[in-house]
């Protein structure tokens, strides 16, 4: 026997009630005002249906964080994960007396990917920085483009940057998303085992991410150091054009190296890389290479290769302030590159 119409109506009532409740919620939240949340979770750097990797989380939160920066930094730190974990904006800011932002990401973005991050920042702030610091490990300058393409992070960044960055959501309930993420539990984990906790820490620290790894197998680690690859030169040239070409001094800083990675062969490669960058700096007023180029620290100061633990990151940031201070140009005074 077919179901009666009264039975169908009773089964539909819960759905109708749910729709009415949802509509009421949307109308109530609409009074809060427009939301700047993306209209689609897929606009995150990683896809909406995927679990983010550590690298994707870093890139995603740095891109979203720089979109939300309200006070333009006078010193911007750029680079790979050595910048992310070895430069603490607060320490640098306290020493220099100016706002500092760390936009460090990962080495597989290559120099041109780091430049794309800087371009996005410059397009969103009212005033350019007075100094850009490019803090890098060998991995950012030594990998050929074929390797970068194989990894795929750079291509994913280009794809992400081609989308609309942030849009007004037509559903006011997007206001609930930040609250939901906090309630899920990300912010309360000090070692960020999840995406939300890591992003919250980076927002609080203006882009610094503390290295938490302990017990790294240094005895079993061996990495061959290689010279700067020719594929990195277009990115370096672009970085110089975006900074010095606009009258912004550029400081090139090689990340500190653990003793485990400082054998004779590695030191020879570092010396050659430092000499090459020194030639570039000598030919372009406004570019400076931090001295000494190679700084070797005890292996115990690192959690992983190129990622110092907190005490070493604090010391590196204080040392970096001493390097940066002479390059900060007083407001209204053109840098050497911008002078007629």
- The closest alpha carbon to 310, from 87, 137, 107, belongs to 87
Residue 46 maps to a domain? no
Count CB neighbours of 9 within 10 A: 10
Residue 115 maps to a domain? yes
Q: Is residue 105 a contact partner of residue 210, using CB atoms and an 8 Å limit?
A: no
Task: Report d(CA 159, CA 268) in Å as an integer.
Answer: 38
pLDDT at 263: 85
Task: Report d(CA 44, CA 199) in Å as an integer.
Answer: 13
Count CB neighbours of 223 within 10 A: 12
Residue 231 sits in a domain whose CATH number is 3.40.50.1110
The β-bridge relationship of strands 307-308 and 302-304 is antiparallel
Task: Report d(CA 59, CA 281) in Å as an integer.
Answer: 29
Strand partners, 227: none
Written as six digits, the tokens of 219 are 């005895």
pLDDT at 329: 59
Written as six digits, the tokens of 188 are 């309360």
Low-confidence residues of the chain: pLDDT under 70: 1-12, 23, 25-44, 46-51, 163-194, 222-225, 329-340
Which domain covers residue 122, as residue numbers? Answer: 57-167+190-327
Residue 3 maps to a domain? no
The pTM assigned to this predicted structure is: 0.77
Residue 125 maps to a domain? yes
Rg (CA), the chain: 24
Contacts of 169 (CB under 8 A, 6+ apart): 34, 35, 37, 38, 39
What number of residues does the chain have?
340
Residue 335 main-chain phi, psi, to 5 deg: -75, 165
How many domains, in total, are found in the chain? 1
Residue 151 maps to a domain? yes
Residue 184 maps to a domain? no
The 10s digit of each residue's pLDDT in 40-77 is: 444 567 655 556 778 888 898 898 888 888 889 999 99
- The closest alpha carbon to 132, from 284, 324, 335, 336, belongs to 324
Residue 163 maps to a domain? yes
Residue 194 maps to a domain? yes
- The closest alpha carbon to 115, from 131, 128, 132, belongs to 132
Task: Report d(CA 307, CA 106) in Å as an integer.
Answer: 11
Tokens 């970085």 — which residue?
239
Strand partners, 78: 134
Written as six digits, the tokens of 216 are 């790294």
């Amino acid at each position: 026997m077919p179901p009666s119409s009264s039975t169908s109506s009773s089964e539909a009532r819960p759905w109708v009630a749910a729709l009415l409740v949802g509509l009421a919620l949307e109308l109530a939240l609409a009074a809060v005002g427009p939301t700047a949340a993306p209209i689609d979770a897929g606009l995150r750097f990683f896809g909406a249906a995927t679990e983010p990797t550590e690298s994707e989380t870093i890139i995603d939160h740095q891109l979203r964080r720089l979109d939300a920066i309200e006070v333009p930094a006078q010193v911007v730190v750029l680079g790979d994960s050595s910048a992310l974990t070895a430069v603490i904006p607060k320490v640098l800011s306290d020493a220099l007396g100016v706002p500092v932002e760390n936009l460090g990401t990962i080495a597989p973005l290559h120099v041109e990917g780091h430049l794309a991050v800087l371009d996005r920042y410059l397009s969103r702030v009212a005033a350019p920085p007075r100094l850009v610091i490019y803090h890098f490990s060998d991995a950012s300058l030594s990998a050929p483009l074929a390797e970068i393409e194989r990894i795929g992070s750079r291509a994913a960044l280009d794809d992400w940057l081609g989308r609309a960055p942030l849009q007004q959501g037509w559903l006011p309930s997007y206001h609930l998303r930040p609250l939901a993420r906090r309630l899920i539990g990300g912010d309360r984990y000090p070692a960020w085992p999840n995406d939300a906790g890591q992003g919250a820490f980076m927002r609080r620290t203006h882009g610094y991410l503390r290295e938490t790894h302990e017990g790294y197998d240094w005895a079993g680690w061996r990495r061959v150091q290689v010279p700067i690859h020719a594929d990195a030169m277009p990115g370096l040239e672009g970085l110089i054009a975006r900074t010095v070409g606009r009258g912004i001094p550029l400081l090139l800083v090689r990340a500190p190296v653990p003793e485990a990675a400082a054998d004779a062969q590695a030191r020879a490669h570092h010396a050659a890389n430092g000499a090459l960058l020194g030639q570039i700096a000598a030919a372009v007023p406004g570019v400076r290479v931090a001295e000494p180029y190679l700084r070797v620290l005890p292996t115990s100061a690192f959690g992983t290769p190129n990622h110092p633990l907190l005490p070493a990151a604090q010391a590196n940031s204080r040392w970096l302030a001493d390097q940066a201070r002479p390059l900060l140009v007083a407001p209204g005074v053109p840098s050497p590159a911008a002078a007629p």
